[in-house]
Amino acid sequence: MVKLLCILGLGLCLCASLRAEDVAVRLPSGVEVVSERFAAPQGPILLWITGDHGSVEAESRAAADLAGKGIEVWLTDWLGPYFLPQLPGSVAQVPDQDLGDWLAAIRRQEPGRALLLMASGHAADLALRAARDARERLHQETRGVVLLFPLLYRGLDIGIEPDYAAVVDATRQRLALLVPQSSAGFWWRERLKERLEAAGSQVALTVLPGVRDGFYRRMDATDGETAAGAHLGETLWRLLQDVLGDIRP
Amino acid sequence: MMRILILFLALGLGTPASAAELKDLAPRPAASLRLPTLDGKQVDLGQLRGQVVLVNFWASWCPPCRKEMPSMNRLSRLMQGQPFVILGVNAGEGIETVQGFLKHTPVHFPILLDEKGTSLKPWQAFVFPTSFVVDKRGQIRMGLLGSIEWDAPETVARLRTLLAEK
């Protein structure tokens, strides 16, 4: 009977980590940022910035997978609190200070736990700005940042070599970049890597063959992309393990 | 809304949503372009002086690239008999992939294979599709990020203006 109760209890604990709860952080500016928290007590916390593309099932599944492996994940929509539309230009309207204050609040709430950031596409700018603000203004270091098919150009115009967002030259982080092979970004990945390294970041680049940008959230996903999306948690786990060193609790 | 997002994901554009526009550019010499076609012949842009050339960088996985191909076919037919050529430069894909794609989406203009993407840097193609219009003297005169209907009357009129130049 005791053994049965223990097994049931363990099962309940595991199930609890695979369900998300909403957690709200109110910032000094008055903005309230709400995250879906996939808990993994005592483990590092991966702050996954979303919002530029709506809620995506593959992200929730991946977050649950990672939590099951001991990495707590906070899926966080950063456009919603400002009522910003899901357009590329919206990320520029999120204040740096709010991003840094968010990290600081989480650090106070969860002392001693490593914080990692992750974002995709245009939201990559938010992740880098959050880490920079925390470091420069609050002297708090983020353990590392994962960028999935990052879109960090500062405007694009025909015939003109695009520059990168200002934060690229102000980032000094351990970075992991995941770049789909079927992507325009694949051809310019080394250019971005070199620019980030020139600013002082350590950059590990992983190319994912057979998929496009946003592979796990495309309406026109190929069979290969659907399969890759189903294994997103595994892909992110390997990326985190391979690139950011020992992040076990 | 989702279609717009997919377009921006495919293109990697960092600009707010707006229709793609074939822009006039300050004339500058086109970079060299010498690549094989599907049947192994070499096409050299430098040998096409005296013709107006539409150079289009594309990939089969790129939805806007696929979308504009029928209009490029129509443009090619409209310009028959004129000193006008379309070169579709496929970046990063092997011949079998390209041939497989073209079986379902036949085109009526030369497809050049750039499997290693060596032309993308000199031509500054940061998104797909990217297109340039090169005049008879080998100068880039127009450019486009994204896709358009290439046989739209106003576009054809602008191309005919270049054709009328000596």
Output phi, psi for A11, to 5 deg.
Answer: -60, -40
Residues forming beta bridges with residue A22, ordered by sequence position:
A36
How confident is the model over B81-128, as pLDDT tens digits? 999 999 999 999 999 999 999 999 999 999 999 999 999 999 999 999
End-to-end CA distance of chain A: 31
pLDDT at B13: 37
With CB atoms and an 8 Å threshold, state whether B12 touches A162. no
The nearest alpha carbon in chain B to A215 belongs to: B9
How confident is the model over A6-17, as pLDDT tens digits? 444 444 444 444
| Position A32 pLDDT exceeds 70 | yes
Amino acid at A201: S
For the CA atoms of B52, B54, B55, B58, the dihedral, rounded to the nearest 10 degrees, stands at: -170
Q: Of the ranges A82-96, A187-201, A233-247, which one carries the lowest mean pLDDT score?
A: A233-247
With CB atoms and an 8 Å threshold, state whether B12 touches A160. no
Q: Of the ranges A17-31, A201-215, B74-88, which one carries the lowest mean pLDDT score?
A: A17-31
How confident is the model over A181-192, as pLDDT tens digits? 999 999 999 999
Pair of tokens at residue A3: 């053994």
Global pTM? 0.89
Residues forming beta bridges with residue A177, ordered by sequence position:
A147, A205
Name the CATH superfamily housing domain A2-243. Answer: Alpha/Beta hydrolase fold, catalytic domain (3.40.50.1820)
With CB atoms and an 8 Å threshold, state whether A162 touches B14. yes
The whole-angstrom distance between B91's CA and the closest CA on chain A is 9
Determine the Cα–Cα distance for residues B68 and B79; give it in Å rounded to an integer: 17
Average pLDDT over residues A226-242: 92
pLDDT at A139: 95
Q: Please report, rounded to a whole number, the percentage of residues in chain A having pLDDT higher than 70.
A: 88
User: Please, what are the domains in chain B?
Assistant: 28-164 (3.40.30.10)
> What 3-state DSSP class applies to A37?
strand
The whole-angstrom distance between B24's CA and the closest CA on chain A is 10
Q: Of the ranges A110-119, B13-22, B79-88, which one carries the lowest mean pLDDT score?
A: B13-22
Interhelix angle A57-68/A232-243, rounded to 10 degrees, is 50
Provide the number of CB pairs (under 8 Å) joining chain A to chain B: 90
pLDDT at A159: 82
Residues forming beta bridges with residue A49, ordered by sequence position:
A76, A119
Burial of residue B124, with CB atoms counted within 10 A of its CB: 0-12 exposed, 13-18 middle, 19 or more buried: middle
With CB atoms and an 8 Å threshold, state whether A86 touches B1. yes
Residue in this structure with the two tokens 């700005």, named with its chain if needed: A129
With CB atoms and an 8 Å threshold, state whether B126 touches A153. yes
Domain range list for chain A:
2-243
Average pLDDT over residues B50-76: 97
Determine the Cα–Cα distance for residues A244 and A173; give it in Å rounded to an integer: 11
> What 3-state DSSP class applies to A83?
coil
Average pLDDT over residues A75-103: 94
pLDDT at B15: 29
Test mutation, B9, B89, B119, chain A, max A CBs within 10 A: B9
